Amino acid sequence: MLRAYKHNENHLLCEVPLEQLEKGSWINCAAPDTNELNKLNELTGIPVDSLQTALDREERSHVELEDDYIFVVVNTPVVLETDAYDALPLGIFITRQFFVTVCLESNSVIQKFLNNSFASFQTYKKTRFLFQILSQASSSFLFFLQQIYKQTDVIENQVRKSLQNKELFRMLELQKSLTYFNFALHANENVMERLMRLRNSPLHSLLKMYEEDEDLLEDVIIENKQALEMAEIYTNILMSMMDSFSSIISNRLAQIMKFLTSVTIILAIPTLIFSLWGINVPVPWADAPLGFAGVILIGVLVTMVATFILWKKDML
């Protein structure tokens, strides 16, 4: 999907035909095919190889300074399934004419801007737009970190009532998600610090940074550090919980095995007694009228004594 947008005189974001692009337009490219990449290359002059780099799911966050454009890759959070999250790279190109975003699939961070969720958002303010995307990415990480924490509480309550391993597998998925978030936030932090240093770069004309822009970037760096600290704290909490719950489940299993072993001993006692009186040789009370009742009574008494002993030893 290849579309272009620009704010009109009423500060409303409107879609612009690709044939009528103007300076200050925003070109958004999500899940593009080869034809769309070639079209984007014709419109902006950005090499196709650089555009394809932004479509690599394993691409790390970084900043590249070229003669005609600045290429920034940042990580944004994405939901894979109920308990699984990952980080998806978002490519941002700042040229002298356009602001370009490229992503492997539809991005929730970009969607916020398409919905006009930011009052101060303007497509022609390219530096501020870049920092606003970074701010929204950090906010999205914080939001999903809170969701992970809430899911952890739900799983904790389920583990208290269940001996199944599916809750531990869910916690493992959340732990993997936190690991991905931790790595993504560290990479984004490096990008933000690099952008802060670009104030004295020869490419200053491509990345005009006013005082309010610097303040915004500083706020974004602080917000990203908060998300990073939350991710590290939640990771430690989740690891501790997984170790504790594994021990709890193992202890419950040991309790069940102890109970079943005691039941087996109790059942084995009358079985042994009745087996002794069932052999094909002369046995006591073989001809006695109450012999059968006597054997039953012996079996019951011995079983009761064994049950009492096991109960006193906390085996039942």
Cβ contact 303:269 at 8 Å = yes
For 234-258, write each residue's pLDDT tens digit. 888 888 877 877 787 788 788 888 8
pLDDT band at 200, cuts 50/70/90?
low
Catalogue the long-range contacts made by 281-285 (C-beta closer than 8 Å, 24 or more residues apart): none
For 42-81, write each residue's pLDDT tens digit. 888 888 888 888 888 888 888 888 778 888 999 988 888 7
For residues 172-182, average pLDDT? 87
- Percent of the residues in the chain that have a pLDDT greater than 90, as a whole number: 1
Query: Which are the contacts of 17, defined by CB distance < 8 A and separation ≥ 6?
Result: 4
Q: In what order do the strands lie in the sheet with 62-65?
A: 13-16, 2-7, 25-30, 98-103, 84-95, 69-81, 62-65
Q: Whole-prediction pTM value?
A: 0.77
Cβ contact 91:55 at 8 Å = yes
Q: What's the full length of the chain, in residues?
A: 316
Give Cα separations from 216 to 98, 132, 267 (angstroms). Answer: 21, 8, 75
In single-letter form, the type of residue at position 221 comes to I
pLDDT of residue 294: 82
Please tell me the distance from the alpha carbon of residue 261 to that of residue 278, in angstroms, as a whole number.
Answer: 25
For residues 272-291, average pLDDT? 78
Tokens of 185: 């936030």
- Is the pLDDT at 206 greater than 80, yes or no? no
Angle between helices 211-276 and 126-161 (to 10 degrees): 20
For 181-196, write each residue's pLDDT tens digit. 898 999 888 888 888 8
Segment among 35-39, 147-151, 232-236, 243-247 with least mean pLDDT: 243-247
Average pLDDT score, the chain: 83
Please tell me the distance from the alpha carbon of residue 122 to that of residue 141, in angstroms, as a whole number.
Answer: 23
For residues 256-276, average pLDDT? 87
pLDDT of residue 163: 58
pLDDT of residue 203: 52
- Is the pLDDT at 117 greater than 70, yes or no? no
Please tell me the distance from the alpha carbon of residue 260 to that of residue 36, in angstroms, as a whole number.
Answer: 67
- Is the pLDDT at 162 greater than 60, yes or no? yes
For residues 211-231, average pLDDT? 87
Please tell me the distance from the alpha carbon of residue 129 to that of residue 123, in angstroms, as a whole number.
Answer: 7
For residues 122-136, average pLDDT? 85
